Amino acid sequence: MLTKTLEQTYFVIDFDSTFTKVEGLDELAAISLAGQKDRDEVVAKIKDMTDRGMAGELSFEQALQQRIELLRAHRDHLETLVEFLRGKISDSFSRNKQFISEYRDQIFIVSSGFREFILPIVTEMGVREDHVFANTFRFGEDGTITGYDETNVLSQNGGKVQLLRQLSLPGDVYVIGDGYTDYELRESGLANKFFAFTENIERQRVIEKADHIVTSLDDFLYINKLSRSQSYPKSRLKVLLLENVHARAVELFRREGFQVELLKGALDEDELIEKVKDVAILGIRSKTMVTKRVLENAPRLMVIGAFCIGTNQIDLATAEEKGVAVFNAPYSNTRSVVEMAVGEMILLMRGIYQKSVKMHEGEWDKSAKNSNEVRGKKLGMIGYGNIGIQLSVVAEALGMEVLFYDLVEKLPLSNARQCHTLEELLQESDVISLHVDGRKSNANIIGEKEFALMKDGVVFLNLSRGHVVDVKALAAALKSGKIRGAAVDVFPSEPKTNDEAFESELRGLPNVILTPHIGGSTEEAQASIGEFVPNKLLNYVNTGSTFGSVNFPEVTLPPLHDAHRLLHIHANVPGVMSKINGIFAKYNVNITGQYLKTSDKIGYVITDIAKNYSNEMIQELRDIEQTIKFRMLY
Ligand SMILES: NC(=O)C1=CN([C@@H]2O[C@H](COP(=O)(O)OP(=O)(O)OC[C@H]3O[C@@H](n4cnc5c(N)ncnc54)[C@H](O)[C@@H]3O)[C@@H](O)[C@H]2O)C=CC1
Ligand SMILES: O=C(O)CCC(=O)C(=O)O
């Protein structure tokens, strides 16, 4: 029996919404009707007919005729359309130009669209001119599009089937398309497989009929083991973004071809375990706890992005052991926290917040009692990291004297002074502001004893982490008047979403500004984080670079050049490197670059090799006992 190979397979590809992201006729209407009063209405009508035709709800011939009548287009508009379509080639087609040129003798474009705009686009991408089958327009003497060639089978119902029959391709036929007329080729028996292409549009009636649903051309090439631009199609990788991270992040991941899911709130441990099972990239903010259990149930997880500064919500050590790199945005919301702290300390020193509350209740309390300037006062900061330093600069500009206490020796900026002990800082400061990180050992570093050491009438701010302060002790200190006012942005237990109620001993106390963990919630900060973190994650996924990771050995890698990159994460025990290099030697692999960084727990070795290696060699690398994670890039 003759067994068919892919050399005898023909690829019949649709144009509109498959090869390009858009429907050509719809776009032609938008161009030809520009400036006309009824443009939006007519374009919507045309789009609706295209959709119904593509979904198989309207006879194709009917849909075509009615759309052409509505178009009011001219030959000149076609040039504009072609220019527009050049920028609308589907991303996965643009990425895989190589496949088109390699298989140009086996690729056919069969479309019910129009040759006048299809031909320039697909031939520029490497498709053979004589392999393009589509309708053609009829023009009036003045160049107006008056109709189409009705003798062309593609203008008729069942046209694609008729055309394929005429082509009589001598091998298997795989059809890639998004419309019902593409499926009809499979239904007719002329095609062996129909791949519903969903990169641009998903039509339920079409995907139900498909042999395979392919989310991109990479996906199609992967399924059929054909050469492609991505070692593993990104369209097969899931990105889960929680806590309403900025829309820019969603856009950046979608643009790269990932499947992206965005949820508004945080998830609890069980919910997250359920969701994270098939997730490759996880994006969170401060509320989602990524525990050991979560990580143990996330076999496909490659990388976590904390869309914030703090990473105490993630079990970093377990993530490292599991080969999951973690990145954050260490500077994007620093300034936002600082501005909020400055504003709050002024409001509290002047009693403005309390006076405003009284005014809303109808009370007029004009007095200077307990109302002070911040100028000349001592600001004591616990934690002199990025936020502390930035706050110290702004506070000095306001005329404050800055003291700080930090666990490590720090270079004091300007006139700031480092205190040797926490006690010293507590006893001297008029305003105390917490800017420590959320490590576990920082639990309750400020409690009854520490409040007792503070000056009477101190202003107290916590915009760092909730568990750092004993809230009961803070409430008592406020009630006794020891503290004249406090601003608290973070709490030991915070609602997961805006729909949950907020409970705290601090509710209802006078001169206490309570805010829902919004120190970093400015549009500027969120937009910056929404760009910064995805870029870090994409850089790791695309190149293997771990620069800026908070739990992985840091490696900055050069771009990949004419090689394949093997990324091997393993338990850091003696002998693993010699096993890896032993395998390369055994298979006589040509290594073009090798990079190794280790931590106490893991080794991360990246090897660029010449492309002519065997699959057995790859399997042996995967099978090394200490391998934690292995992936390839090309
Ligand atoms: N409210 C909000 O929305 C936001 C809160 N944050 C919180 O602020 C924290 C600080 O941010 P960065 O300044 O950027 O971090 P950072 O890591 O640059 O600075 C933290 C500093 O605190 C010091 N430190 C830690 N524990 C200490 C202790 N017990 N006593 C004295 N010093 C201690 C560290 O040595 C370090 O210098 C973050 O970790 C995060 O938890 C950050 C952004 C927004
Ligand atoms: O904006 C957030 O969700 C968290 C901000 C924060 O606490 C941080 O950046 O560490």
The backbone torsions φ and ψ at residue 319, rounded to the nearest 5 degrees and listed phi first, read -55, -45
Closest ligand relative to 306 C-alpha: 2
On whether both 290 and 379 belong to a single domain, the answer is: no
- E-strand spans in 473-589? 483-488, 512-514, 564-571
Q: Is residue 229 domain-resident?
A: no
Record the tokens describing residue 163, joined without a space.
């055309």
What confidence tier does 258 reach under pLDDT thresholds 50, 70, 90?
very high
User: Contact 146/140 with Cβ under 8 angstroms?
Assistant: yes
Number of independent structural domains in the chain: 4
On whether both 207 and 116 belong to a single domain, the answer is: yes
Q: Is residue 287 domain-resident?
A: yes
Name the residue with the closest Cα to ligand 1, atom 5. 464
Name the residue with the closest Cα to ligand 1, atom 39. 437
On whether both 44 and 70 belong to a single domain, the answer is: yes
Q: For 43-76, what is each residue's pLDDT tens digit?
A: 999 999 888 887 778 888 888 888 998 989 999 9
Positions marked active-site: 465, 494, 517
Among 307, 387, 444, 514, residue to substitute to test ligand 1 (most atoms within 8 Å of Cβ) = 387
Beta-carbon count within 10 A of 138 CB: 12
Decide which of 223, 256, 277 is a domain's last residue: 223
Decide which of 194, 223, 252 is a domain's last residue: 223
Query: DSSP string covering 407-421, please?
Result: SS-----TT-EE-SS
Strand partners, 469: 446
610: domain CATH number is 3.30.70.260
User: Residue type at 558?
Assistant: P
On whether both 138 and 63 belong to a single domain, the answer is: yes
Q: What is the pLDDT of residue 3?
A: 36
* Pocket flag, ligand 2, residue 465 (CB < 6 Å): no
374: domain CATH number is 3.40.50.720
* Pocket flag, ligand 2, residue 520 (CB < 6 Å): yes
Q: Is pLDDT at 239 greater than 90 in this prediction?
A: yes
What confidence tier does 6 reach under pLDDT thresholds 50, 70, 90?
low
Distance separating alpha carbons of residues 557 and 161, to the nearest angstrom? 50
Rg, the chain, Cα only? 32
Q: Is residue 1 domain-resident?
A: no
Question: What's the mean pLDDT when you consider all of the chain?
Answer: 95
Mean pLDDT along residues 237-255: 96
Distance separating alpha carbons of residues 91 and 335, to the nearest angstrom? 37
On whether both 169 and 23 belong to a single domain, the answer is: yes
User: Residue type at 422?
Assistant: L
Decide which of 223, 253, 268 is a domain's last residue: 223
Q: For 171-194, what is each residue's pLDDT tens digit?
A: 999 999 999 999 999 999 999 999
What's the 75 CA to ligand 2 centre distance in angstroms?
A: 56
User: Taking Cα atoms as reference points, which of 320, 339, 340 lies closest to residue 572?
Assistant: 320
Q: For 320-348, what is each residue's pLDDT tens digit?
A: 999 999 999 999 999 999 999 999 999 99
Nearest-atom index, ligand 1, CA of 441: 29
Q: Helix (H) and strand (E) counts for the chain?
A: 24, 24
On whether both 491 and 455 belong to a single domain, the answer is: yes
Beta-carbon count within 10 A of 386 CB: 16
Q: Is residue 230 domain-resident?
A: no
**Percentage of the chain modeled with pLDDT above 90:** 92
On whether both 547 and 507 belong to a single domain, the answer is: no
On whether both 306 and 374 belong to a single domain, the answer is: no
Q: Which residues contact 622 (CB under 8 A, 6 or more apart)?
A: 630
Among 435, 463, 550, residue to substitute to test ligand 1 (most atoms within 8 Å of Cβ) = 435
Q: For 463-480, what is each residue's pLDDT tens digit?
A: 999 999 999 999 999 999
CA angle, 373 then 377 then 382, to 5°: 125
* Pocket flag, ligand 2, residue 386 (CB < 6 Å): no
On whether both 443 and 402 belong to a single domain, the answer is: yes
Distance separating alpha carbons of residues 26 and 257, to the nearest angstrom? 24
Q: Is residue 231 domain-resident?
A: no
User: Contact 408/385 with Cβ under 8 angstroms?
Assistant: no
On whether both 567 and 538 belong to a single domain, the answer is: no
Q: Is residue 195 domain-resident?
A: yes
Name the residue with the closest Cα to ligand 1, atom 40. 310
Among 420, 437, 441, 469, residue to substitute to test ligand 1 (most atoms within 8 Å of Cβ) = 437
User: Taking Cα atoms as reference points, which of 191, 31, 33, 34 lies closest to residue 110?
Assistant: 191
pTM for this entry: 0.85
CA distances from 343 to 350, 372, 469 (A): 11, 14, 21
Closest ligand relative to 383 C-alpha: 1
Helix (H) or strand (E) holding 68: helix 60-71
Q: For 484-532, what is each residue's pLDDT tens digit?
A: 999 999 999 999 999 999 999 999 999 999 999 999 999 999 999 999 9
On whether both 164 and 278 belong to a single domain, the answer is: no
Three-class SS of residue 593?
strand
Nearest-atom index, ligand 1, CA of 436: 22
On whether both 84 and 137 belong to a single domain, the answer is: yes
Q: Is residue 228 domain-resident?
A: no
Q: What is the pLDDT of residue 526?
A: 97
What confidence tier does 1 reach under pLDDT thresholds 50, 70, 90?
very low
Q: What is the pLDDT of residue 561?
A: 86
153: domain CATH number is 3.40.50.1000
Mean pLDDT along residues 294-317: 98
Q: Is residue 465 domain-resident?
A: yes
Please report how many Cα atoms fall inside a 13 Å half-sphere around the Cα of residue 535, on the Cβ side. Answer: 10
Q: Is pLDDT at 633 greater than 80 in this prediction?
A: yes
What's the 428 CA to ligand 2 centre distance in angstroms?
A: 29
Distance separating alpha carbons of residues 351 and 322, to the nearest angstrom? 51
* Structural domain span for residue 117: 9-223
User: Residue type at 495?
Assistant: P
Three-class SS of residue 112?
strand
